[in-house]
């Protein structure tokens, strides 16, 4: 998935399914693009219960509002 495809969900409650089948539910809290950090991959942050999980965009199979 491309980072641009996820941006419409930023700030919303989402369910992210990764390429390995693992699911994460929470608020799409932040994103990191290559332009911000050339040595790190594009990633999104999902916040749930005060804990943020960083997920590389290359590992996101799907994202949907929940």
Distance CA 16, CA 13 (A): 10
Cα(45)–Cα(26) distance, rounded to whole angstroms?
9
- Spell out the domains of the chain, with CATH numbers in brackets: 3-65 (2.30.30.100)
- Reported as a single tens digit per residue, the pLDDT across 11-65 is 999 999 999 999 999 999 999 987 666 778 899 999 999 999 999 999 999 999 9
Q: How far apart are CA 26 and CA 53, in angstroms?
A: 9
User: What is the per-residue pLDDT for 41?
Assistant: 85
Helices (H) and strands (E) in the chain, counts: 1, 5
Three-state DSSP at 60 gives: strand
pTM, whole model, 2 decimals?
0.89
pLDDT band at 2; cut points 50, 70, 90: very high
For 8-49, list the strands marked E by DSSP: 13-18, 23-32, 43-48
């Amino acid at each position: 998935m491309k980072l641009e495809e996820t941006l419409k969900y930023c700030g919303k409650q989402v369910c992210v399914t990764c390429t390995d089948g693992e699911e994460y539910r929470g608020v799409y809290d932040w994103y990191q693009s290559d332009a911000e950090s050339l040595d790190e991959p594009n990633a999104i942050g999902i916040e749930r219960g005060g804990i943020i999980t960083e997920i590389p965009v290359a590992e996101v199979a799907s994202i949907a509002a929940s």
